[in-house]
Amino acid sequence: YLVGKLDLSMGDSEAALPRLEQAFKAMPYSPEIRYNYASALRNTGRMEEAQRHFDGLEKQQQEQSALRGLLSQLRLSPERTDIRYQIGAILLEYGNPIEGTAWLKSIFLSDPNHSEAHQALASYYERVGQSELAEGHRKYTLTVLDPD
């Protein structure tokens, strides 16, 4: 990543692009990496793709701001699973997915039947190719929460 960032700062976007693309694929939740990758795309004429990343970065920043508000609310009401769910969902999509799964799993300590958390985890695990974990959450939702 650092070599790509250096290439970009020196005006060599062509050299920077593959390095920044690799960094983005490894850490798609890093705003700094995403910004530099989008800049390299723009500088190499890939305007539409660059704009998608700049738009995604803006949405990511909005969600991070919402996340800060939710964390403040949670400090006042730590038992609220609805806030924990929102935090976990934001982190899965726009932050660190490892932290997001931890937040969602923390809900099960007080509410093991929280269907939205099970569904979010099932979707996430399916998306990252962990089908067995996805199936476990899906089955739990179907058999325990909706036995009919």
pLDDT per residue over 68-108, tens digit each?
999 999 999 999 999 999 999 999 988 889 999 999 999 99
pLDDT digits (tens, 9 = 90+) for 54-79: 999 999 999 999 999 999 999 999 99
Cα–Cα distance, 146 to 148 (Å, whole number):
6
Inform me whether the pLDDT recorded for 28 exceeds 90.
Answer: no
CB atoms within 10 A of CB 121: 27
- Total number of residues shown for the chain: 148
- CA angle (10, 38, 96) in 5-degree steps: 115
SS3 123: helix
Cα–Cα distance, 24 to 39 (Å, whole number):
12
For residue 115, which phi and psi values (nearest 5 degrees)? -65, -40
Mean pLDDT of 5-24: 96
- Kindly indicate the confidence band of residue 142, based on its pLDDT and cuts at 50, 70 and 90: confident
pLDDT computed for residue 95 by the predictor = 81
Note the pTM of the prediction, 2 decimals: 0.78
- Kindly indicate the confidence band of residue 134, based on its pLDDT and cuts at 50, 70 and 90: very high
- Kindly indicate the confidence band of residue 140, based on its pLDDT and cuts at 50, 70 and 90: confident
